[in-house]
Structures are given as structure tokens and as C-alpha cells.
């Protein structure tokens, strides 16, 4: 099997979850596009789910998942249901196998992606790579430990207050990388509340002791697919993916925080805008923004590289109003990024996608730190 969803060990214990998944499938607008194949390997029954050739051509032509929601089959669907269908269609059309040990784990994975995408939709923050700023009713700060959770505070509530102004009434300061971690952690915690309470308790305790961040966060909570040698198709995104857009301009890359941009793919062709959730990015607009960072970069009186965001916005608006200029920029930007330290041929599209690890109690391999 080279693509789609593979359930590795479908057995009697998993029967109820399989029936739930199939009931949902049969009520979906894409049921006629689904191919189901079973096989027995070393005594275990395996189930493979894929889209038919016609289904791939209809929903994800040439691996393009950005327009799934435009399908007539999903336009009139409830938004949450449409998001879950889009997640499933992304998994079914995946160019690499999406392997799960059970239908329970598959259902859990669809939910956690949904929670991450929904959290990203409501996240609105102030961009700052140096500030330390969180709702102090729930968070404490230590230079070595990072932001830790105060005793008797809910991790889910603390993450919502820190990232979503609809809960706190305030926008707090984040870098895009840290913002993506909080959004992913929130989605994981919300799913753990449903399917793995012990994991949620351990997450709660972990963040009371020490925050997991940066490379350790990636290694603990995420799986990365693709590489520069074997890239994920350029237009293939699944809601809940964490995605990096690289700044291919060596000059403006000197500005702290503008080496690239971390976002969450939210579905419906939209990527998160952590600084204004009411104005999410399309792929084209994100490419234009990253390109025009070169026009906003400057060195201040103290010799520090800075970014004039207002000037960047002006250039983006100008390019969007000029179809010929826009296409010229997109031609340069919609290429796979180059290796670190190389600035020769442009391109801001990453070769990889990051997604959450398995979370069910029987299969969860998340090992927390400092507990």
C-alpha cells in the first residue's frame, strides 16, 4: 500500500469503533468514492481505505487538497462536519500511507486534527519574539522552566486564555513557532480529555513542572512526513498540519522571527493568521506576504534588523491589484524551499508536513519530560 488509510490490526476488540467509522462514512457525501480492501497478514486482518480514481480526480486532483471544500458535495454541509470530511479526504488521498493500529486511533486522530484546526481559527496574538506575556491568573514564568501552569488551573483553560481573545479579551505576545505549539497542545489536550484522561493528567502535571518547547516539543508530540529528497506534493495539506513557509530572501531573513513563518492548515484552503484570525491566509497570499518581507526589512539606529509590517502590507496590496506582478511573484515563490543556508533559486514551500502523534492509551508513545 502506497497511500490512503491502513488499519493494521482490525480485530474483535475494535469492532465497535469500526462500525462507528463505517456508519459515519455511509452518511458522508464522499461514500461513493471510497474503496475498502481487506487482507490477512500474519493472522491479523488489515483494512485499507482509499479513494477511487474518480474520487481522487473529483476531490484532490494532482494531490491538491486546497479546494476540497469547494466540491458540490461539501458546500452545504455543517462547518464542523465539513471539516471532519475534509480531514478524512486528506488522509484517504495521502501520498504516503496513513497507518493506524485501530479504528479507535483513526477516529481519535480525526478529532485531534479537528480540534487543532478549530483552535487555530480563533487564535489571535501580538507578534513578539522577545516578550514574556501570558494571562498571569493561570501562568507563571521562569527563565529556565518557561511558562508553567499554576496549581489547580486547567491546562485547556490556560491555553485558551493565552491564545483566544474570545476567552480572555486580550491578545498576548508570542512568536509564530510558540503560538503553533500552544495551538497543537490545546488540540491534543482536548482529545486526551475524551480518549486518554491519563495523558491529559500527565500533560497537566508536566506543564506545572516545566514547559516542553522548540525541538523537544516537535520530538515529543509530532510526526514529520516528507523530506527535501522526497517532498510531500506541494498542494497537499490536511487540516491540523503544521506548515512552515521559508523566507527565501537572505537580507530580510536577518530580522528575528522572519526567517520563515509557522502556521496551521485549517482547511477550506486557509492557513492560520495568528496576528489577525479574521484574515486567514490563502496559499497565494501567504506567499506574497513572505516575498514582500524583503521590502519591509530595515536596520534601525541601534544597528538591529527590524520589519515594517505596514510597508509589507502596502506592497502585498499593490501586488494583489496587479495580476501580472502577482503571477511573477508566485512563480518565484511556489517552489520547494532550498536547504538551510542556501539562497539561490527562491521558493518558500516546505517539503514536509508535521502532524500529531497517536494519542490512544493502548498506542500512545508520548514520553513527557521532567516528571
Across the range 241-256, mean pLDDT stands at: 97
pLDDT at residue 363 in the model: 64
Task: Quote the radius of gyration of the chain (alpha carbons, Å).
Answer: 21
What is the spatial distance between Cα 195 and Cα 360, in angstroms, rounded to a whole number? 6
Quick check: 371 pLDDT over 60?
no
DSSP string, 42-62: TTEEEEEEEE-HHHHHHHSGG
End-to-end alpha carbon distance in the chain: 39
3-class secondary structure, 27? coil
Quick check: 10 pLDDT over 90?
no
3-class secondary structure, 304? coil
Query: Where are the chain's structural domains?
Result: 5-100, 125-220, 242-351
Quick check: 11 pLDDT over 90?
no
pLDDT at residue 295 in the model: 97
Quick check: 365 pLDDT over 90?
no
pLDDT at residue 254 in the model: 95
- Range picked from 70-79, 96-105, 181-190, 340-349 for highest mean pLDDT: 181-190
Quick check: 176 pLDDT over 90?
yes
Share of the chain residues as helix, strand and coil, in percent rounded to the nearest 5: 45, 20, 40
- Compute CA 78 distance to the chain's CA centroid, rounded to the nearest angstrom: 21
Minimal CA–CA distance to 49: which of 81, 84, 1, 107? 1
**Pair 187, 120: CB distance under 8 Å:** no
What is the spatial distance between Cα 163 and Cα 161, in angstroms, rounded to a whole number? 6
Burial grade of 33 (CB within 10 A; 0-12, 13-18, 19 or more): buried
pLDDT at residue 40 in the model: 72
Average pLDDT of the chain is 92
Instruction: Tell me the per-residue pLDDT of 66-93, one tens digit each, with 9 for 90 and over.
Output: 999 988 677 777 899 999 999 999 999 9
Q: Which stretches within the chain are classed as H helix?
A: 15-26, 53-59, 79-92, 103-122, 155-163, 165-168, 176-195, 197-209, 214-221, 283-296, 309-320, 323-333
Instruction: Tell me the per-residue pLDDT of 315-362, one tens digit each, with 9 for 90 and over.
Output: 999 999 999 999 999 999 999 999 999 999 889 999 999 999 988 776
Across the range 182-191, mean pLDDT stands at: 98
pLDDT at residue 15 in the model: 80
Instruction: Tell me the per-residue pLDDT of 22-40, one tens digit each, with 9 for 90 and over.
Output: 999 898 889 999 999 987 7
Instruction: Tell me the per-residue pLDDT of 42-61, one tens digit each, with 9 for 90 and over.
Output: 667 789 999 999 999 999 99
Amino acid at each position: 500500500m502506497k497511500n490512503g488509510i491502513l488499519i493494521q490490526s482490525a480485530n474483535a476488540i475494535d469492532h465497535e469503533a469500526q462500525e462507528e467509522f463505517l456508519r459515519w462514512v455511509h452518511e458522508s457525501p464522499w461514500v461513493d468514492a471510497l474503496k475498502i480492501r481487506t487482507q490477512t497478514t500474519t493472522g491479523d486482518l488489515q483494512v485499507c481505505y482509499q479513494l477511487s480514481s474518480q474520487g481522487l480526480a473529483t476531490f484532490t486532483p494532482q494531490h491538491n487538497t486546497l479546494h476540497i471544500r469547494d466540491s458540490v458535495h461539501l458546500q452545504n454541509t455543517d462547518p464542523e462536519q465539513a471539516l471532519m470530511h475534509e480531514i478524512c479526504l486528506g488522509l484517504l488521498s495521502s501520498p504516503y500511507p496513513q497507518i493506524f493500529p485501530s479504528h479507535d486511533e483513526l477516529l481519535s486522530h480525526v478529532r485531534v486534527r479537528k480540534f487543532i484546526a478549530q483552535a487555530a481559527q480563533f487564535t489571535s496574538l501580538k507578534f513578539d519574539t522577545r516578550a514574556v506575556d501570558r494571562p498571569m491568573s493561570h501562568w507563571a514564568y521562569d527563565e529556565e522552566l518557561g511558562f508553567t501552569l499554576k496549581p489547580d488551573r486547567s491546562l485547556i483553560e490556560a491555553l485558551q486564555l493565552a491564545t483566544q481573545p474570545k476567552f480572555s479579551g486580550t491578545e498576548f505576545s508570542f512568536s509564530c513557532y510558540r503560538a503553533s505549539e500552544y495551538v497543537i497542545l490545546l488540540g491534543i489536550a482536548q482529545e486526551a480529555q475524551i480518549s486518554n484522561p491519563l495523558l491529559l493528567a500527565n500533560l497537566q502535571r508536566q506543564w506545572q513542572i516545566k514547559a516542553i518547547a522548540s525541538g523537544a516539543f516537535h520530538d515529543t508530540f509530532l510526526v514529520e512526513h516528507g523530506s527535501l529528497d522526497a517532498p510531500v506534493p506541494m498542494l497537499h495539506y490536511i487540516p491540523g498540519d503544521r506548515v512552515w513557509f521559508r523566507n527565501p530572501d537572505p537580507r530580510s531573513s536577518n530580522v528575528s522571527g522572519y526567517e520563515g513563518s509557522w502556521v496551521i492548515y485549517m482547511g477550506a484552503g486557509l492557513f492560520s493568521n495568528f496576528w489577525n484570525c479574521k484574515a486567514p491566509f490563502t496559499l497565494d497570499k501567504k506567499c506574497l506576504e513572505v516575498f514582500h518581507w524583503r521590502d519591509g526589512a530595515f536596520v534601525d539606529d541601534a544597528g538591529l534588523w527590524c520589519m515594517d509590517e505596514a510597508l509589507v502590507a502596502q506592497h502585498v496590496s499593490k501586488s494583489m491589484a496587479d495580476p501580472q506582478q502577482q503571477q511573477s511573484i508566485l512563480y518565484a515563490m511556489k517552489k520547494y524551499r532550498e536547504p538551510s543556508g542556501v539562497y539561490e533559486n527562491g521558493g518558500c514551500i516546505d517539503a514536509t508536513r508535521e502532524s500529531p502523534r497517536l494519542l490512544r492509551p493502548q498506542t500512545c508513545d508520548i514520553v513527557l519530560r521532567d516528571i
